[in-house]
Structure 1
Amino acid sequence: MKRAIITVCCLPVLLAACSGAGIFKEAYSEAEWTFIQPYYYPLAGIGGGAILGKVRIPENRETSIASQTLVQALQDLQLSVVEPTLELDAIIPPRTPWETDIAPIPAELVASYNQSFPNLTLRPAIYGIAYDGEHDTSENIFRYRISARLYSRGALSRWSQVDGDRYSGKFFVDRLVELLQTHMKIVAEAQP
């Protein structure tokens, strides 16, 4: 009985391996990525002009641009990457899980959140946010998968994670995505 279960569970992996499809190449479908931004290299397209809806980047720089854009957006929110440990170049390799420390959220943002989500109102407390995720740069597309973790504390207590069903993580993820879009635009405009 156990042997049949193992065979059935392994069959999709075995079929993918036999068909030549990379089973680990695309761990997420396009719908599971939080933010997707296509890119292209100079001299691509007709006459080397701009390609609408895509960011122009120098060749072989996609990994550093994807990582540095993420790090800059997180720094705008007063966050830093704690996993993995970053070197001086601040490069996070594609498909490497990352996570941030916790940064306090301004009271105005909590008020805005409470207005947007009256059914999931945050009670009076000090709130902080942390993010985790990963990114990918294959097939000329920057992809980011991002999750937000909300924390709360009192004036003299430590951070404790808020239950995921008590708040909308999308509200906080959207904040980071807006910054990623801004930094991607800056990268695109900086290219000759």
Structure 2
Amino acid sequence: MLGIINQGHAPKGNPDPGAINPITGLRESDITYLLGEEMAGFLRAAGHEIIVIQSDSLTEIVAAANDNDADYFISIHCNSAEDPAAEGFEVYTTPGQTAADPLATAIINQTKAAFPETKFREDWGDNDPDKEANYYVLRNTVCPAVLIECGFISNRKEQTNMQDPAWRTKMTAAWARGVTDWQVAL
């Protein structure tokens, strides 16, 4: 299987670092880079061919998936909110029932199993837990595509988790198990 992992926002944060914790200065682009590299390692160990891309160009990101006939696409991000108490993990697909819904559900299920204490922000309106949005990278990618919001960088506890190598390893291992669960179910 060929997977594309997009580490959200621009490499080294230039020109767009994404969300920034207002107190610590932690940047989304730095965390997504680390998460993407770790997830890629787990999936390569499972026999997947992985292309990792961090770019400020959404068209370049989508082209990496479409031009390579990828089997799946995962974009990794950190959420942010003005309310520092906002928290939780989310996985997005495009609106309606899509080929990405089973992939999103498998990732959510493995993440919930690994992190039962974490708040999961879900939308069961269409009988599955993923949230839905018309994000450019999701709607323009031909293969099943999901966008993961690993937590709120603006939340002190969640940004501390993001900086913890053990947490990142546990989180990305869960995501990779979700991908392989989805693969087995195909």
Q: TM-score, normalised by structure 1?
A: 0.33
**Higher relative contact order by CA 8 Å / sep ≥ 6: 1 or 2?**
2
Q: TM-score, normalised by structure 2?
A: 0.34
Looking at CA atoms only, which structure, 1 or 2, has the larger radius of gyration?
1
